[in-house]
Chains A and B, each alone.
Chain A
Amino acid sequence: MQHWEVGATSSVAPTSPVPPDGRGELQSTAAPRWLEVLDATIQRCAAHGRAELQEWLSGRRTQLLHPQLRVLVAGAAGQGKSHLVNSLINAPVCPVSDTSRTSVATVVRHGEAPAAHLVTRAGPTTPWTAPAGPRDRIPLRTEGLTDAVTEAVLAQPAGVTALLHAEVEVPRALLAEGLVLIDTPPLTDLPEQSPGAVADLRGLVTYARADLVLFACESTRDVTDAELDVLADLSRLYPHVLVALTKTDVAPRWRDALAQTRDRLTEAGVPATVIAVSSTLRQHAVRSGSGPLNDESGYPHLIAHLQHTVATKQDELARNTVALLGRLAVERVATPLRADLLRSAEPSDAVAQLHEAQRRLEDLRRITTRWQNCLADESGDLLSDIEQDLRERTRAVLTEAEATLDTLDPARSWDEFEPWLRQAVQEAAESSFAWLAERSEWLAHRVAEQFPEYGDQVLPAWASVPVDEVPDRSGGLTPPTVEKFTTTQKLFTGLRGSYGGILMVGLATSMAGMSLINPLSIGGGALMGGRTIREEGKSLLKRRQATAKLAVQRHVDQIFIGLAKDAKDSVRRLQRTLRDHYSGVTEDIHEAIMESLRSAKAAADRDLAERAQRARRIEHELNQLSGLYTQAQALTGRHSPAIAATGIGPG
């Protein structure tokens, strides 16, 4: 390993000896303001049960109190990161080659004598500063260090490469002041895509316990959007970022690149210092011992910046860092609180139940009117329908009876006719009443439909509405008085008819010289007499039939009136029954709703009180956080209104 140094790093004597792995606490007796604020922030996080924040902040606290300044050099592949580290300390400790990319990180710090180790960390989330056991710390030869590292990494089992880093100690004045440089493998997918790189860098800075990030980007091209994304993300965790534009020796337009990078970083709101450097020039300067060349390389500027940061670590850097961390932690803690507060303004279950009960009461009122109207309408319809039905049925019976009476002689067949009529009337009445029963059931359902929310449970318990037994109103029908056609009557009628016949034929034959009574006239008389008897018989039959029809009609009418009365009574009874039933149902429902309304109201009142209390508590907590936030911001000495706008406040 080479031992020459040049320029800003020339003096080797460390001004204040630093213990090799000293976790030295701050010397001053009174804790600085930023430490108070940080401790208060950590306490707040603990009070809100944010263990992960607490742990992370405690890590950063330890880091800030540590006198070392750990600078993590990150960037895309081939941006000259390793070259940068090597040029800063003038020693080839990191592999610089296009053929072998940096595969493990190298931590470079001060040591009285050159030494190197390959460290295997216990797990992916183990801090790099955690002490490693003797078996996890393999000493490496310092001659041809980069090859030694490569060989040692290859000797490790596959899969642990991500857990390896090299630790190199070199005697350098720059490092003796407490500066630790960490060279890292390239970030995923940069310079074109950021998601992978953002995750990579977050993990790196957290577990490598970095205090400052030095982001390398070559000046032969413009800084890409993805790189800006990475830097913007980094500026959420670190108050300040250092960007090194490398390779200015071969970039004809590196000044444009520098100006543009500064502009774009400002535009993106990333607080950063951009320094253009050329590692090649620096190495030439070191080799030739040329001061102007060293100045041209941009390194003195970079070294001065690093030295300033080391010297002011526990002042400026710490204050800015705590301001940022305070803001971040307060925001993280406040976000769920604010969400809680918002949620408590939303209607709760109890209130929803109250509203639901009120809505159901309203509904019930509407339902009551509806079912009453429905029952009245439907009953009226049923009354007229059943009457009409009865009338049609009896009329049909009557028509058939009349047709039957036309073909038979009531006097002779009455005994057959009467039972038939009785049965027909009874059948008509039965079917009409059966229909009435169906309609009644339908009516009950129809009214039940007016209770859409309660379904079938409001139906009357009986399967069908009771309809009285069909009353037997067919009664006996007395045979109508019949005029008999007696033999004497027949004789008289025959004689009366034969007189005309004898006279007519006798007069005609008397002209032929015959006597008035002669066989011919007697024949004519007999003929006419027979005819008269037949006609008289027929007219008598007609009369009998008419009489019978009249009797039947009167009889059936009487029955119809009786049946109609019965049916109407039935319907009215039904209407009354249903009305009583549904009134009862309505009352029950009303009672139930009132009950739930009362309990919901009580619950809502309780809930409201609880919420008000909770909101007061959250607001109080938010106010506390707001105070903490103001304290943290005061550390920077400047108040950023843009940040305050996104800050705390109830609601």
Chain B
Amino acid sequence: MTSGDRLADRVHDLLVEAVRIYHDNGPAQEWLHQHLVRLDGPLRLAVTGPPGTGKSTLVNALVGESVAPVASEQAAGHLTWYVDGPQPRAQVSPWYGDPYELPLHRADRGLRLAGPSAMYASGAEAIHQVLLEWPSRSLRHTHLLDTPGLPPADAGWETAAGIWQDADAVLFLSRTLSAADLRRMPPVRGGWAATALPLHVVVVLSRADETAGGRVDALLAAKQIARRRRREPDLTLICQDVVAVSGLIGYAARALRQDEYDALAALAVQSRTDLEPHLLSVDRFRSADAVPLDPAWRERLLDRFGLTGVRLATTLVRSGAQDPRALAEALLRHSGLAELQSVVADLFSARRSVLKARVALSAIEQLAHREPRPQSGYLLTEVEQVVSEAHEFAELRLLAALRTRRAGLPAEMAVEARRLAGGSGASMSERLGLPAEAPPEELWARAAAAAERWRRESQEPGRPTRERRTAQVVLRSCEAILQQLG
């Protein structure tokens, strides 16, 4: 039993209380029940951003299969949820009316809904969202939401605000991290700290393979940009982290097949200097007769990997990726998808209950403001109390700060701080860096020592305020462990 569950319990109780208060209000009841159900469900992760930022490609990379986008002949611009299911199945929810099922077909890219047009002949934009069930291990604990491209400026963040409410966590994609793109994120609203802080957002510098004009070191350049930008104030205000990802290469890595590997290996047989002139441009690669690969295969490789991907893959094969598995791993690492997966695991999946609590609290808050009742004030006070007492939110912020090196602690201390704050696992033994079977006495001793050390750090007068504040958060984490043990 970790403290996160206690927070979840308190939020659950608060939701039930709200249901009681709004017992005579149908829509409010529905809204609260939705959030009650969501509280125990899997993590809901939205992939969103301006048009053409590679959202669907990233969804495919995260799922590991070509499932996005789900296109339909009648409508564009609907939301698509991807969830785990025993067999592929698409359920369409129109804006008005009951949901119905439609058969699915594979398309060149993603899937296509083969719907009888008569069904929504009345209005082309009739589809609100599509729920796609797809047997996939990746979707078992995380539901993915693929969204249409966000329109610019104000309209953008209005759409985005809806998605923010629908999902527990958000991957915001941008090709350039330009101010115009970032303006599409909903502005920080008033309200309590938990709802105002961007604990649930990670910005993705997408299509990283095209950075710097698709230079040889495009992916590296993109990573450097991401590393630099994540510390800049315009981004720290709106997200937890910035990660550079090439969805195209990432997806190619996850779905790498033996024949593709063979084709790449055939290319890599040639020495670097021999091959390089043929990889200068797509046209050269297509028309290179010296390359021992038939044109259809070359076209296929371009389609799957892009020119940057082909360059990267051949280099990787040459430098020691001896089988598809090794190549896939290396590509995964270089594409940035591996980093994104670990970010999602650390910041989102491990903190599922906290993120869900955050959404539920914000939902209660919204309801209390939208439909004021005599007891609304009580609800708001309770929300405030839960937020101010929840150490989890502070921990999450600390972890994000440590990850992006904003905390200002020396490396050694940062590692310990990250562990104690639950960065490598939320259980007590993981936090204390002990094996799971360690006896409580040992845990106690270790926790007490850590608490003492961090108390000293937090009171050290020579340290900058920022570091002292960080130390205070770690100290509270230690105290929470002691409290649980005692």
Residues of A bordering B, CB below 8 Å: 77-78, 80, 83, 97-99, 189, 192-193, 220-221, 246-252, 254, 278-281, 284, 293, 296
Partner of A280, one of B50, B215, B221, B303: B215
The answer to whether A83 touches B282, judged by C-beta atoms less than 8 angstroms apart, is no
Complex: A296 Cα to B286 Cα, angstroms: 13
Partner of B281, one of A78, A98, A189, A278: A278
Complex: A279 Cα to B221 Cα, angstroms: 18
Asked if A192 meets B284 with Cβ closer than 8 Å, knowing A250-B213, A252-B302, A280-B213, the reply is no
Main secondary structure of the interface of A (DSSP, over half): loop
The answer to whether B308 touches A250, judged by C-beta atoms less than 8 angstroms apart, is yes
Please tell me if B214 contacts chain A, counting CB pairs below 8 Å. yes
Using Cβ atoms and an 8 Å threshold, which residues of chain B touch A278? 281
The answer to whether A293 touches B280, judged by C-beta atoms less than 8 angstroms apart, is yes
The answer to whether A254 touches B280, judged by C-beta atoms less than 8 angstroms apart, is no
Asked if A247 meets B214 with Cβ closer than 8 Å, knowing A189-B152, A252-B303, A281-B281, the reply is yes
The answer to whether B280 touches A281, judged by C-beta atoms less than 8 angstroms apart, is yes
Question: Would you list which residues of chain B between 289 and 317 have a CB under 8 Å from chain A?
Answer: 302-303, 306-308
Asked if A193 meets B215 with Cβ closer than 8 Å, knowing A220-B210, A250-B282, the reply is no
Please tell me if B211 contacts chain A, counting CB pairs below 8 Å. yes
User: Smallest CB–CB gap between A253 and chain B, Å?
Assistant: 9
Please tell me if B415 contacts chain A, counting CB pairs below 8 Å. no
Complex: A252 Cα to B152 Cα, angstroms: 28
For B211, B280, B308, which residue has the most chain A Cβ atoms within 10 angstroms? B280
The answer to whether A284 touches B283, judged by C-beta atoms less than 8 angstroms apart, is no
Using Cβ atoms and an 8 Å threshold, which residues of chain B touch A192? 50-51, 152, 180
Main secondary structure of the interface of B (DSSP, over half): helix
For A78, A80, A250, which residue has the most chain B Cβ atoms within 10 angstroms? A250
Complex: A392 Cα to B138 Cα, angstroms: 110
User: Smallest CB–CB gap between A314 and chain B, Å?
Assistant: 36
User: Smallest CB–CB gap between B141 and chain A, Å?
Assistant: 34
A interface footprint on B201-225 (CB within 8 Å = 1, 0 otherwise)? 0000000001111110000011011
Q: Show 16 A/B contacts (Cβ-Cβ < 8 Å), sorted by A.
A: A78-B176, A80-B213, A97-B212, A98-B222, A99-B224, A192-B50, A247-B210, A249-B214, A249-B280, A249-B283, A250-B213, A250-B214, A250-B282, A250-B306, A251-B282, A252-B303
- Closest chain B residue to A288, Cβ basis: B277
- Closest chain B residue to A79, Cβ basis: B213
The 7 A-B residue pairs whose C-beta atoms are closest, nearest first, are A250-B214, A249-B281, A252-B302, A192-B152, A252-B282, A250-B307, A193-B152
**Size bracket of the B interface:** 20 to 34
User: Smallest CB–CB gap between A311 and chain B, Å?
Assistant: 30
- Closest chain A residue to B205, Cβ basis: A98
Complex: A597 Cα to B228 Cα, angstroms: 84
Using Cβ atoms and an 8 Å threshold, which residues of chain B touch A247? 210, 213-214
Using Cβ atoms and an 8 Å threshold, which residues of chain A touch B281? 248-250, 278, 280-281, 296
The answer to whether B153 touches A193, judged by C-beta atoms less than 8 angstroms apart, is yes
Please tell me if B52 contacts chain A, counting CB pairs below 8 Å. yes
Taking A80-B213, A279-B213, A296-B283 as given, write out 12 further A-B residue pairs in contact, using a Cβ cutoff of 8 Å, ordered by the A residue number. Answer: A77-B178, A78-B175, A83-B213, A192-B180, A221-B52, A249-B280, A249-B283, A252-B303, A280-B280, A281-B281, A293-B280, A296-B281
The answer to whether A98 touches B221, judged by C-beta atoms less than 8 angstroms apart, is yes
Complex: A596 Cα to B374 Cα, angstroms: 72
- Closest chain B residue to A99, Cβ basis: B225
A interface footprint on B261-294 (CB within 8 Å = 1, 0 otherwise)? 0000000000000000000111110000000000
Using Cβ atoms and an 8 Å threshold, which residues of chain A touch B303? 252
The answer to whether A252 touches B307, judged by C-beta atoms less than 8 angstroms apart, is yes
User: Smallest CB–CB gap between A256 and chain B, Å?
Assistant: 12
User: Smallest CB–CB gap between B406 and chain A, Å?
Assistant: 19
The answer to whether A284 touches B308, judged by C-beta atoms less than 8 angstroms apart, is no
A interface footprint on B171-214 (CB within 8 Å = 1, 0 otherwise)? 00001101010000000000000000000000000000011111
Complex: A40 Cα to B23 Cα, angstroms: 81
Using Cβ atoms and an 8 Å threshold, which residues of chain A touch B228? 99
Using Cβ atoms and an 8 Å threshold, which residues of chain B touch A251? 282
